[in-house]
Amino acid sequence: MLINLIIFLWILLIVNFIWGIKQTKDKSIVKLMMMGRAIYFLILIGEVILIIRNFTSNPALDLASFSLTVSSISFVDIIYQRKLQGNLKLYLIFIAIFFILVSIISLFLIP
């Protein structure tokens, strides 16, 4: 159940992320960035609960999943900041999407 909730939050974050990249006004980018921060705050809470629950069975996989989640969220925040500054590069978007997909896949590996 918790993994399904985290995956749903990841889908919300991806939609928010794509919608935020498409925006041209700074005010709407900032609003979407704040909504994205609220979503990934919930993702981090869910990941911490998942780690606490499953740490005794497979600690390496739990820590790898958490570190992938933190790096994905970092890339999303970096892209929002670059979008506001006006120097967003396309390769950063692909790196963020790659890390997000790997983070979602790592959730399926956790027993």
Mean pLDDT of 40-53: 92
Which residues span the domain enclosing 24?
2-109
Mean of pLDDT over the chain? 91
Mean pLDDT of 26-50: 93
Q: Decide if 70 contacts 46 (C-beta within 8 A).
A: no
Paired tokens of 106: 């790592």
Please give the model's pTM, rounded to 2 decimal places. 0.89
Q: What's the confidence (pLDDT) of residue 77?
A: 92
**87-111 pLDDT tens trace:** 888 998 999 999 999 999 988 887 7
Paired tokens of 26: 């700074």
pLDDT band at 24 (very low <50, low <70, confident <90, very high): confident
Overall number of domains in the chain: 1
